[in-house]
Amino acid sequence: MAMEGLSRALGISYEEPKRRRDRAVPMGHMGEALDGARAALFLTSEESRYVTGAVLPVDGGLSFKG
């Protein structure tokens, strides 16, 4: 809904805000809800048993973009 409203307000195609957003992410595209879910699953699994007090950005590198 946000993309639809933005595209209407700017007078551009519906796909253009998505392209702009994807270009802003170093990995070339925004993630999906499943990406966050997989990170949460990792943190609740035995595989992360020695992980403490970590910040785990699941943002395709957006927080490291300079």
* pLDDT on residue 7: 87
pLDDT single digits (tens) 25-50: 999 898 999 999 999 999 999 999 99
φ/ψ of residue 65, rounded to 5? -65, 130
Residues 6 or more apart from 37 whose CB is under 8 A from it? none
pLDDT above 70 coverage of the chain, percent: 97
Q: Tell which residue, 14, 52, 21, has the closest CA to residue 6.
A: 14
Q: Range with the lowest mean pLDDT among 16-20, 30-34, 47-51, 54-58?
A: 16-20
Q: What is the DSSP string of 6-60?
A: HHHHHT--THHHHHHHHHHSTTSS---HHHHHHHHHHHTSGGGTT--S-----ST
pLDDT value at position 15?
Answer: 87
pTM above threshold 0.75:
no
